[in-house]
């Protein structure tokens, strides 16, 4: 959600902070601001709206500051406006902070500080941080910061500056990501490594409860209780500037849809063998006996990743014959779940920082459950907390509406189901061969589909750009694809859309259907005749039907108003290609409506607070 950038070094901090915040725009935000330290003063610039508004305020000013902090805010406490924007300061404008997260006990802290004479300017929970540091300040910035941490409760990534402590930034994290970037006589603190691509590739991933102090040419990581230094491994970011640029595309989302021909391959590269039809997944650290003994598999996630979890449940039960469940992380973490010795839990998250998913993982660990991550970001909180799992290798995903990360999750969960099935001897050899062969040729199929069908998809999207509602239907493995198609349309075009199992349409949604309520139906070979019956029911009530169907299907052309043909693939692989036209329809409808597809309103790329 909120983006954080801190810099101290030998360059103009203003330029580096603005560059970093631009790279974090994809996370979602409603205001932006920076604080620069110059001549023992703190210079604050902030405004609501996009970063371009902030640039307008700073334009013409040339502060020479070589240290500063910046922030993009996604409102939780207090409306999105200039006053509630970060950075926040204390009463004397001596301390400035930026904060991502929620301070749960801020009301009590605020009352206490007001009784001490502190005057607050904003409605945010974050402002108590700067005032607490001021309250504890007795000439030692570090001590005041550490004493503040003893009081606050909740989730946070915090950066703080003191005008009397030149070129020094102190940071801390608990539940929200914070990363140290190490440069040449310069150091960075950021919420996401994309903020510093182009400046340094050397990073340290901070763990919960750690404090970091950066200066121009040194840094220190501390345990806040013992105040002792902690030695951490320096890791290397493999991202390039090209990966986080649009590279000639009008939007990141369209670029990422087209990247799926490569990211699907990356998800299975080195994990399947076309020569001997084998599947290998070393990151799971499970013996054949461990796999034989599994009684239940849980897939826990949020949003788009939850849809991947439904698909994962279906393929796991079908291919490995293990009882499987999918759960919303936000619900699971507040239940009193029953965890058995032979259960295993997969936590799916593109960013690896999703707050509810991370909290659910920690809960399962506390209950001695076995946890595994399925995530895209190396070094993310879920990857490190789980300590084992499978990376999806989709590369940086900048568009808020997930596309390539979703198809990579489908590939990875299918591989896990095959891997378990191999050791449990539940996958017939002919089926194993067909799945692996079709997975192997899927990248080329995606590439050819995109080349062949873009104009058709544009035409269909333009036809339906003015709709107010839509229904998406699918059965079996295509049910989660229907859910994902509806979610994409909602997220970026702001059109109300619902995904349903096709057979459930008669249990309510059919009451809504009329000539102004189009229905998008996934009608590939799975349960084909049943889906055809559902289309007949929809057509009888006057609705327009857009169908995703297999090539060569002549029957569907007599029923649907518009048809998008996809190649026929093995049953478990088919949904991966089926979702791509739905992603493109959502993209083009939103584009025709003039929406910002990469930064849809009210949404954040990574939900790092409850």
pLDDT in tens, 205-221: 998 899 999 998 899 99
| Residues 205, 260 share a domain | no
Annotated active-site residue 35? The verdict is no
Report, as an integer, the average pLDDT of 65-82: 79
The pLDDT-based confidence of 87 (bands split at 50, 70, 90) is very high
- Bridge-partner residues for 189, per DSSP? 6, 180
- Domain-located, residue 601: no
Q: Which domain holds residue 167?
A: 3-244
- Domain-located, residue 153: yes
Q: pLDDT at position 604, please?
A: 63
Query: Within 10 Å of residue 318's Cβ, how many Cβ atoms?
Result: 18
Kindly tell me if the per-residue pLDDT of 571 is higher than 80.
Answer: yes
Of 22, 595, 599, 605, the catalytic one is 605
| Residues 325, 224 share a domain | no
Report, as an integer, the average pLDDT of 26-42: 82
| Residues 296, 176 share a domain | no
The most confident of 81-85, 505-509, 518-522, by mean pLDDT: 518-522
Kindly tell me if the per-residue pLDDT of 245 is higher than 80.
Answer: no
CB 550, CB 565: distance < 8 Å: yes
CATH of residue 114's domain is 3.60.20.10
Report, as an integer, the average pLDDT of 187-213: 91
Kindly tell me if the per-residue pLDDT of 280 is higher than 70.
Answer: yes
CB 419, CB 279: distance < 8 Å: yes
The pLDDT-based confidence of 168 (bands split at 50, 70, 90) is very high
Task: Look at residues 382, 406, 393 and name the one whose alpha carbon lies nearest to residue 308.
Answer: 406
- Domain-located, residue 468: yes
What's CA 610's distance to the chain center, in Å?
14
Report, as an integer, the average pLDDT of 481-494: 96
CATH of residue 342's domain is 3.40.50.10490
Q: pLDDT at position 319, please?
A: 97
| Residues 266, 240 share a domain | no
Which domain-ending residue is among 211, 244, 277?
244
Kindly tell me if the per-residue pLDDT of 239 is higher than 70.
Answer: no
pTM for the model stands at: 0.82
Report the SS3 class of residue 72: strand
| Residues 162, 84 share a domain | yes
Q: pLDDT at position 599, please?
A: 83
| Residues 443, 378 share a domain | yes
Q: pLDDT at position 369, please?
A: 93
Kindly tell me if the per-residue pLDDT of 172 is higher than 70.
Answer: yes
The pLDDT-based confidence of 23 (bands split at 50, 70, 90) is confident
Report, as an integer, the average pLDDT of 46-72: 82
| Residues 225, 129 share a domain | yes
The pLDDT-based confidence of 605 (bands split at 50, 70, 90) is low
Of 2, 215, 265, 488, the catalytic one is 2
What's CA 182's distance to the chain center, in Å?
25
The pLDDT-based confidence of 542 (bands split at 50, 70, 90) is confident
Report, as an integer, the average pLDDT of 244-250: 83
Report, as an integer, the average pLDDT of 21-40: 81
| Residues 281, 226 share a domain | no
Q: pLDDT at position 510, please?
A: 77
Q: What percent of the chain has pLDDT over 70?
A: 96
Kindly tell me if the per-residue pLDDT of 608 is higher than 60.
Answer: no
pLDDT in tens, 398-429: 888 999 999 999 999 999 999 999 999 999 99
Q: pLDDT at position 7, please?
A: 96
Report, as an integer, the average pLDDT of 111-136: 94
Q: pLDDT at position 197, please?
A: 83
| Residues 539, 502 share a domain | yes
- Domain-located, residue 610: no
- Give the list of residues 6+ apart from residue 160 with CB closer than 8 angstroms, or none: 69, 95, 96, 97, 129, 130, 133, 141, 145, 169, 170, 171
pLDDT in tens, 516-541: 889 999 999 888 888 898 888 888 88
Which domain-ending residue is among 224, 244, 264?
244
SS (H, E, C) 415-449: HHHHHHHHHHCCCCHHHHHHHHHHHHHHHHHHHHH
| Residues 235, 261 share a domain | no
Kindly tell me if the per-residue pLDDT of 63 is higher than 90.
Answer: no
The domain tally of the chain equals 2
Kindly tell me if the per-residue pLDDT of 59 is higher than 90.
Answer: no
Report, as an integer, the average pLDDT of 547-570: 95
- Bridge-partner residues for 203, per DSSP? 181, 235
The pLDDT-based confidence of 254 (bands split at 50, 70, 90) is very high
> Pairing relation of β-strands 389-391 and 370-375?
parallel
- Domain-located, residue 605: no
Kindly tell me if the per-residue pLDDT of 96 is higher than 80.
Answer: yes
- Domain-located, residue 597: no
Kindly tell me if the per-residue pLDDT of 336 is higher than 80.
Answer: yes
Q: pLDDT at position 202, please?
A: 92
Which domain-ending residue is among 244, 262, 285?
244
- Domain-located, residue 511: yes
Q: pLDDT at position 99, please?
A: 93
- Domain-located, residue 545: yes
In Å, how far are 12, 162, 199, 220, 223 from 227, measured between CA atoms?
31, 20, 30, 11, 5
> In what helix (H) or strand (E) does residue 147 lie, and over which residues does it extend?
helix 141-151
Q: pLDDT at position 74, please?
A: 66
| Residues 352, 315 share a domain | yes
CA distance 133 to 167: 18
| Residues 545, 461 share a domain | yes
Higher-confidence residue: 27 or 270? Answer: 270
Q: pLDDT at position 272, please?
A: 93
Annotated active-site residue 605? The verdict is yes
């Amino acid at each position: 959600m909120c983006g954080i950038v801190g810099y101290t070094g030998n360059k103009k901090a203003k330029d580096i902070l603005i560059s970093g915040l631009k790279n974090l725009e994809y996370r979602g935000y409603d205001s932006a601001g920076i604080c620069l330290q110059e001549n023992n003063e703190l210079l604050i610039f902030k405004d609501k709206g996009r970063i371009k508004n902030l640039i307008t305020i700073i334009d013409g000013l040339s502060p020479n500051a070589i240290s500063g902090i910046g922030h993009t805010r996604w409102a939780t406490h207090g409306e999105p406006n200039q006053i509630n924007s970060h950075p926040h300061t204390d009463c004397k404008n001596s301390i400035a902070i930026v904060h991502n997260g929620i301070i749960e006990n801020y009301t009590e802290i605020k009352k206490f500080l007001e009784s001490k004479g502190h005057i607050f300017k904003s409605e945010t929970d974050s402002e108590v941080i700067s005032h607490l540091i001021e309250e504890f300040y007795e000439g030692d910035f570090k001590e005041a910061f550490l004493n503040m941490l003893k009081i606050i409760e909740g989730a946070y990534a915090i950066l703080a500056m003191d005008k009397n402590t030149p070129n020094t930034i102190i940071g801390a994290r608990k539940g929200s990501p914070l990363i140290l970037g190490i440069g040449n006589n310069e150091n960075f603190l950021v919420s996401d490594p994309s903020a510093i691509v182009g400046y340094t590739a050397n990073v340290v991933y901070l763990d919960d409860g750690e404090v970091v102090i950066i200066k121009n040419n040194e840094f220190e990581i501390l345990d806040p209780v013992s105040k002792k230094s902690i030695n951490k491994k320096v890791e290397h970011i493999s991202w390039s500037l090209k990966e986080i640029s649009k590279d000639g595309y009008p939007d990141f989302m369209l670029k990422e849809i087209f990247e799926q021909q490569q990211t699907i391959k990356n998800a299975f590269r080195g994990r399947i063998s076309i020569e001997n039809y084998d599947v290998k997944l070393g990151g799971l650290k499970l013996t054949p006996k461990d796999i034989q003994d599994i009684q239940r598999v849980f897939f826990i996630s949020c949003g788009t990743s939850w849809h991947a979890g439904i698909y994962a449940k279906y393929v796991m039960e079908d291919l490995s014959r293990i009882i499987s469940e999918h759960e919303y992380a936000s619900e699971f973490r507040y239940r009193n779940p029953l965890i058995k010795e032979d259960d295993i839990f997969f936590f799916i998250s593109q960013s690896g920082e999703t707050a509810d998913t991370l909290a659910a993982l920690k809960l399962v660990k506390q209950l001695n459950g076995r946890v595994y991550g399925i995530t895209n970001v190396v070094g993310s909180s879920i990857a490190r907390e789980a300590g084992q799992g499978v990376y999806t290798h989709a590369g940086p995903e900048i568009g808020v509406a997930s596309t390539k990360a979703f198809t990579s999750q489908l590939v990875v969960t299918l591989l896990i189901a095959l891997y378990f099935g191999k050791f449990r001897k539940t996958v017939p050899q002919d089926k194993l061969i067909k799945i692996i062969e079709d997975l192997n040729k899927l990248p080329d199929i995606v590439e050819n589909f995109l080349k062949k069908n873009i104009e058709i998809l544009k035409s269909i999207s333009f036809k339906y750009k003015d709709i107010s509602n839509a229904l998406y239907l699918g059965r079996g493995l295509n049910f989660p694809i229907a859910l994902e198609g509806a979610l994409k349309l909602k997220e970026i075009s702001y059109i109300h859309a619902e995904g349903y199992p096709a057979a459930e349409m008669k249990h309510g949604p059919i009451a809504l259907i009329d000539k102004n309520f189009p229905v998008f139906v996934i009608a590939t070979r799975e349960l084909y005749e049943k889906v055809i019956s559902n289309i007949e029911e929809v057509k009888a009530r006057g609705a327009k039907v857009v169908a995703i169907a297999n090539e060569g299907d002549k029957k569907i052309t007599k029923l649907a108003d518009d048809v998008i043909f996809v190649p026929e693939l093995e049953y478990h692989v088919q949904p991966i290609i089926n979702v791509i036209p739905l992603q493109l329809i959502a993209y083009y409808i939103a584009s025709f409506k003039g929406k910002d597809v990469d930064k849809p309103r009210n949404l954040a790329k990574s939900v790092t607070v409850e």
